[in-house]
Amino acid sequence: MNSFPAISRRRAFLSVLAAAPLSQLLPVEAAVDEKSPFRISRRRIHQSVMGWCFNPMPVPELIDHCVAIGLEGIEGIDRKFYPLAKEKGLQISLVGSHGFASGPVDRANHQNCEQALRSAIDAAVKADAKRVITFTGMRVPGMSDATAERNCLDLWNRVIDYAAQHGITLCLEHLNSKDDSHPMKGHPGYFGDDVERCFDLVRRMDSPNFRLLFDVYHVQIMNGDVIRRIRQNHELIGHYHTAGNPGRRELDHLQEINYPAVMQAILDTGYEGFVAQEFIPTWDDPVQSLRHAAEICDI
């Protein structure tokens, strides 16, 4: 009796691509059969997409592609499109708030950050979403790490009860500060660039409504050891993002992260939230890029 699991010809081909020397590889786009496009079927990983990555594609068009591919959520889009996304059957997987630059590390930003977070919590409730993003912000010249941490904690503690009352989880995103090649591939000067510091901030918040947004791409750049960190800290993680490294590109053979293994590690922790695709497409057809990423993660 054959004890090996059945896999599609297309999935097997993609596995060969992952193992072959780069010099022998065809473009990954060649693996996609347009006559029978992949659609998510396993749904053990609940996949979402970060909308900004697919600009300038109109959001309604992106929503339709997400539905066709079988994604379950969308984030990073203008809130005016939330009703349309929900009408089409997508969940709002994460609601934006204040930006990553003007964060609570600087007390001068506290009033604006608090207002933005409270507004985002209200928007999340209206959209039946469960998570709102937050950031540390950029380092302040001359400020000690201890002071910066305290400033962040003070701001988050001003809104955490409001989040908890509404069943919303605030998710702190760790970002890399190394890549200066593109304004969205890296964020030089970002205070929360050490994932262990971010895990510690989550612990110090000591609330089930405050968790880490574990961006696999950023963690790989700054700290590495992705799977071990997921296993050791999974109870502190409330959301995941993906992208290929280097370049914040597709999850293809030109990047270094073994995403099927990472997805399996996430599943092994019992995680039931969203994993959002947040790569910047480089292929000629960005929808094909998204379809490929969805298949890689549909383990």
**Taking the chain (299 residues) in consecutive chunks of 10 residues, what is each chunk's mean pLDDT?**
42 45 42 67 97 98 98 98 98 97 97 98 98 98 98 98 98 98 97 98 98 98 98 98 98 98 98 98 97 98
- Distance between CA atoms of residues 278 and 49, nearest Å: 6
Give 3-state DSSP helix, strand, coil % of the chain, rounded to 5. Answer: 45, 15, 40
Q: Which residues of 14-166 form beta strands (DSSP E)?
A: 46-49, 73-75, 91-94, 131-134
The C-alpha R_g of the chain, in whole angstroms, comes to 19
Q: What is the distance in angstroms between the CA of the first residue and the CA of the last residue of the chain? A: 23
Determine the pLDDT at residue 29. 52
DSSP reduced 3-state for 234: helix
CB neighbourhood size of 83 (10 A) = 11
Length of the chain: 299
- Sheet with 237-242: strands ordered across: 46-49, 274-277, 237-242, 210-215, 169-173, 131-134
pLDDT confidence of residue 7: 41
Return the pLDDT at 17: 46
Taking the C-alpha atoms of residue 197 and residue 19, their distance in angstroms, rounded to an integer, is 35
pLDDT number for residue 38: 93
Ramachandran class of 75: left when φ > 0, alpha when ψ lies in -120 to 50, beta otherwise: beta
Element (H, E) at 42: none
pLDDT of residue 37: 84
Distance CA 103, CA 110 (A): 8
Other CB atoms within 10 Å distance of the CB of residue 10: 15
Residue 43 Ramachandran class (φ > 0 left, ψ -120 to 50 alpha, else beta): left
In sequence order, the β-bridge partners of residue 211 are 171
* 249 three-state secondary structure: strand
DSSP 8-class letter at 44: S
Q: Helix, strand or coil for residue 101?
A: coil
CA distance 215 to 199: 13
Q: Give the residue among 193, 191, 201 at the shortest CA–CA distance from 236.
A: 201
Q: Has this prediction a pTM greater than 0.85?
A: yes
